[in-house]
A and B are shown apart, each in its own frame.
Chain A
Amino acid sequence: DSGVTQTPKHLITATGQRVTLRCSPRSGDLSVYWYQQSLDQGLQFLIQYYNGEERAKGNILERFSAQQFPDLHSELNLSSLELGDSALYFCASSRVLGEKLFFGSGTQLSVL
């Protein structure tokens, strides 16, 4: 158990819908990262937060947004969902920037 909690584990929804994925980092970890893993693209970095502030952005679509709350949990919001958004979404956390990452078990999103 990495100590990083992601909910839900599975999510099935329809095109055009909006979903929210939640991540609770390990106790004491200030940095939260979001990644997308799809069959054709592999793992891709989406966005990173550190102590509530956005620190780095990767290949995140405009339809996607994220935030980190004062209690350090983070949410990834995906809207106007398309079939191609179906993927495994991972959250990871680290104590500070540049330290070892601890991954959650992922949220499997299926857009039908």
Chain B
Amino acid sequence: KNEVEQSPQNLTAQEGEFITINCSYSVGISALHWLQQHPGGGIVSLFMLSSGKKKHGRLIATINIQEKHSSLHITASHPRDSAVYICAVILLSGAQKLVFGQGTRLTINP
């Protein structure tokens, strides 16, 4: 079993829909990243969070440390949001190792 699990693996939605991507992990972590990777391959860090909630524009990320779960929400989704979203955790081991989820491929149709 992977230490970091994302769901769903693939998600197709219509423009304007509210999107939720989930990430569950089984290890102790110091923080969690949400990353976005567009078809061209480049990776952008959207959020890094260790507790609570963060918001940037139409994107919201939450984390529940006790439940070992994080969610990424996209409000008023747009075709340009189509990308692979990757959850990655920083292990509590003291080393700055990132362990990645397998990614969620999001497609927003106009």
Residues of A within 8 A of B (CB): 2, 31, 33, 35, 42-45, 48, 50, 55-58, 88, 90, 92, 97-103, 105-106, 108
Q: Is the interface of A mostly helix, strand, loop or mixed?
A: strand
Q: Is the interface of B mostly helix, strand, loop or mixed?
A: strand
Distance between Cα atoms of A23 and B31 in the complex (Å):
25
Inter-subunit contact A101/B42 (CB<8 Å): no
Picked from B30, B86, B90, the residue with its CB within 8 Å of the CB of A43 is B86
Task: Tell me the chain B residues, 1-57 only, with Cβ under 8 Å from chain A.
Answer: 30-31, 33, 35, 41-45, 48
Per the CB 8 Å criterion, the residue count for chain B at the interface is 21
A105 CB to nearest B CB, Å: 5
Inter-subunit contact A101/B41 (CB<8 Å): no
Inter-subunit contact A42/B96 (CB<8 Å): no
